[in-house]
């Protein structure tokens, strides 16, 4: 595998404390634009080995970008494309037994596909790619609760949000706080967190959906999921990676406040992290935070290994750039 084929971070649960202190922030490299495009090449197989390995693939803020960005000389020209993403996901599935495919919200809005078809095309494509679970971003309310509900029959995957109380809306029964997937005896809990509606979503568009404190909701979700025997807890967050004000909930403040989360797969701030960020904490010894920009230009990947007792033993993160080298 060529070095540039992966944006890669490696860590072992047992070795994290030695790298940067048990509670320390080990790595934080944020960039506001994608790295120079690198071909995924032939390396789709294991990036870390143990008794049992789960591959978690993730996207965020795909924003109705079904086609690659136009060749208009812009900074993203020619990048992305849902068909290429599907090819990439298929290759990873072919090379790995246990794969989970997740999205952190803002599937809607950004191209005429959404304006004309209201999100049906995006959901159908994600269903064809085999998405398992997604959370809701603010733009997923752009056609209101009713517009979202109307397109849900096209979504062959689950939606989770632990801090949006949907009980008083048409989303009741369509969005759960969390879900659990089981892979050969390894239980994986997945919950979602949404951003505050204020200044982002008109009251009329989120009618009946109530925002509640994400940290409180995250703690409750972790408690329930651990009690239910989950050895890995994943948060799909649309809170945003980081803000100037530390009072504003973000993926980083969440990681500090709720060490029981093992993976925080983020969205909203369109942050291209060149490397996943890890906090050495919690029962697994890690909270890995990642986000893959926007527009479907990158696919994130975190592999988690489990020992013979089905406890998480290590992790590795990677990112695949999505460009014309995936055209087939």
Q: Pick between residue 44 and residue 114 the one whose CB is nearest to Zn ion.
A: 114
Q: Which is nearer to Zn ion, 281 or 291 (CB)?
A: 291
The residues that bridge with 290 in the sheet, in sequence order, are 265
Q: Closest approach of Cβ 31 to Zn ion, in Å?
A: 19
Rounded to a whole number of angstroms, the minimum distance from the CB of residue 273 to Zn ion is 16
Q: Which residues bind Zn ion (CB under 5 A)?
A: 106, 137-138, 268
**189 vs 267, which CB is nearer to Zn ion?**
267
Burial environment of residue 93 by CB neighbours within 10 A (0 to 12, 13 to 18, 19 or more):
middle
- Measured from the CB atom, the residue of 140 and 260 that comes closer to Zn ion is 140
Sequence-ordered list of residues with C-beta below 8 angstroms from that of 73, at least 6 positions apart, any chain: none
Closest contact distance (angstroms) between CB of 155 and Zn ion is 18
DSSP designation for 5: G
Q: DSSP letters of 231-294?
A: SEEEEEE-S-S--SSTTS--HHHHHHH-TT-SEEE--SS--EEEE-EEE--TTTS-EEEE-B-S
* Cβ contacts of 67 within 8 Å, gap of 6 or more: 80, 81, 82, 111
- Provide, rounded to whole angstroms, the least separation between the CB of residue 313 and Zn ion: 34
Which residue, 64 or 138, has its beta carbon nearer to Zn ion?
Answer: 138
Cα gap 78→60, rounded to integer Å? 19
Q: Which residue of the chain is nearest Zn ion when measured via CB?
A: 268
CB of 268 to Zn ion, least distance (A): 4
> Could you tell me the smallest distance in angstroms from the CB atom of residue 60 to Zn ion?
9
Tell me if 128 sits within 8 A of 87, measured CB to CB: no
Residues 13 and 50: beta-carbon distance below 8 Å = no
* 106 vs 321, beta carbon nearer Zn ion: 106
Cβ 138 to Zn ion shortest distance, Å: 4
Which sign does the torsion angle of CA 26, 31, 37, 40 carry? positive
The least CB distance from residue 135 to Zn ion, in Å, is 11
Task: Give the nearer residue to Zn ion in terms of CB position, either 80 or 137.
Answer: 137
Closest approach of Cβ 139 to Zn ion, in Å?
Answer: 6
Residue with tokens 């409750």: 220
Taking the CA atoms of residue 310, residue 316, residue 322 and residue 328 in that order, the dihedral angle to the nearest 10 degrees is -60
Q: Classify residue 247 as exposed, middle or buried by CB count within 10 Å of its CB (0-12, 13-18, 19+).
A: exposed
Beta bridge partners of 159: 134, 175
Q: What tokens were used for 290? A: 């990642």
Provide DSSP, 127-186: HHHT--EE---GGGGTTHHHHHHHHGGG--SEEE-SSEE-TTSTTTTTEESEEEEEETTE
CB-nearer residue toward Zn ion: 91 or 268: 268
269 or 281: CB nearest Zn ion: 269
């Amino acid at each position: 595998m060529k070095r540039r084929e992966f944006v890669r971070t490696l860590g072992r649960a047992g070795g994290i404390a030695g790298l940067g202190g048990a509670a320390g922030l080990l790595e934080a490299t944020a960039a506001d634009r994608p790295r120079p495009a690198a071909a995924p090449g032939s390396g789709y197989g294991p990036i870390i080995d143990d008794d049992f390995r789960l591959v978690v693939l993730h996207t965020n803020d795909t924003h109705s970008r079904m086609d690659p960005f136009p060749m208009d000389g812009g900074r993203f020209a020619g990048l992305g494309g849902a068909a290429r993403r599907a090819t990439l996901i298929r290759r990873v599935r072919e090379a790995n037994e246990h794969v989970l495919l997740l999205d952190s919200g803002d599937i809607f809005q950004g191209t005429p596909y959404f304006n004309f078809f209201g999100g049906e095309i995006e959901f159908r494509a994600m269903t064809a790619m085999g998405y398992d679970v997604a959370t809701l971003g603010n733009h997923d309310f752009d056609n209101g609760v009713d517009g979202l509900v109307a397109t849900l029959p096209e979504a062959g995957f689950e939606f989770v949000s632990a801090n949006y109380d949907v009980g008083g809306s048409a989303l009741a029964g369509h969005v759960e706080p969390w879900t659990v997937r089981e892979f050969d005896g390894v239980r994986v809990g997945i919950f979602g967190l949404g951003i505050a509606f204020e200044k982002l979503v008109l009251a009329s568009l989120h009618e009946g959906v109530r925002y509640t404190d994400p940290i409180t909701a995250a703690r409750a979700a972790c408690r329930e999921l651990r009690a239910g025997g989950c050895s890995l807890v994943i948060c799909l967050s649309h809170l945003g990676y980081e803000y100037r004000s530390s009072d504003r909930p973000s993926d980083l403040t969440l990681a500090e406040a709720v060490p029981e989360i093992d993976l925080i797969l983020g969205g909203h701030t369109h942050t291209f992290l060149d490397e996943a960020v890890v906090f050495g904490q919690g029962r697994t010894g890690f909270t890995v935070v990642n986000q893959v920009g926007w527009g479907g230009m990158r696919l994130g990947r975190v592999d988690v290994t489990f020992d013979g007792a089905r406890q998480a033993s290590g992790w590795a993160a990677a990112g695949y750039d999505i460009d014309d080298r995936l055209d087939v």
